[in-house]
Amino acid sequence: MEKEAQDARNFNAPVEDHELENRYEKYKRILAGLTIMSDIFMRNVLKKRECTEYILRIIMDRKDLEVKEQILQKDYKNLQGRSAVLDCVACDTESKRYDVELQQEEEGASAKRARYHSGLLDMNTLEARQNFDELPESYVIFITRDDVLGYGLPIYHISKKIEEVKEDFQDGAHIIYVNAKIKDKETALGRLMHDLQCRTADEMFSEILAERVRELKETSKGVEDMCREMDEIYNEGIEVGQKRGEKRGEKRGEQRAKKETAIILASMGMSVDKISQAVKESMDQIQQWLAEGAAMSK
């Protein structure tokens, strides 16, 4: 017990400069392997609004689409029940709303989750006593690593129908699934899916995305910003997951933070059993997360 207490004190002891330098060197190696499909990297790429705009233009097949404003990683509240953290919510110049979600795991992009996200967008759009007819069109877009719907198509557009007359039900709510597995370089969508899974800017077709990736991976400021963010995850460990989970009011945020922490700690040489203790998850769960991270880096 005394040894465990001492270990904990050592873990939280002030970091020597050389230790921090060593950590940053490891962070740089981790950063080199990240793609836009990686949570931590996606958040930083999309901070540049032009990147979000480019992605939406390709998916929506609209060259004139302009993003007026966006919010990243926002906790969308449901005062009566479960809230959710949405990856990127954008609004265009026509006031249409877009929720863009990049998903590595199949269970993170279920049909009912898409439905719930659509409802949260609506609930967080209208002001009190505002007319329902003022509700803007909304699009929940899941970009998924695998073909979640299983029909072998690159993109799926889902909307409601009036069954008896086979016409669209004009409620303005739309759901789109994009299959990132199909990277057809002959199509704009396929090239985008290719770019989202590239490790280096030189591999990319899009200059807009490539420029942002270069900024984050190849400039001293970008690398420093990314290393600092990874260091915060390392230092806070499970605390990050707990704080995020409490703040967001739902388990997804906590689990996502735990997974990020586990992958970074493993990359820095920590054993599975130590990671399990640090993030308070089973060793089986840690091994699964690490396997997923390894598969995505190949």
Buried b (16+ CB within 10 A) or exposed e, 43-55: bbbbebeebbbbb
The domains of the chain are located at 2-33+219-296, 40-214
pLDDT digits (tens, 9 = 90+) for 151-175: 999 999 999 999 999 999 999 999 9
pLDDT digits (tens, 9 = 90+) for 35-86: 999 888 998 999 999 999 999 999 999 999 999 999 998 888 776 777 888 8
Contact 234, 23 (CB under 8 A): yes
- To the nearest 10°, report the CA torsion of 235, 237, 243, 248: 120
Tell me how crowded residue 32 is: count the other CB atoms within 10 A of its CB: 13
Contact 180, 196 (CB under 8 A): yes
63: its two tokens = 């060259």
Q: Determine how β-strand 84-92 pairs with β-strand 67-76.
A: antiparallel
Task: Tell me, rounded to whole angstroms, the distance of Cα 124 from its chain centroid.
Answer: 20
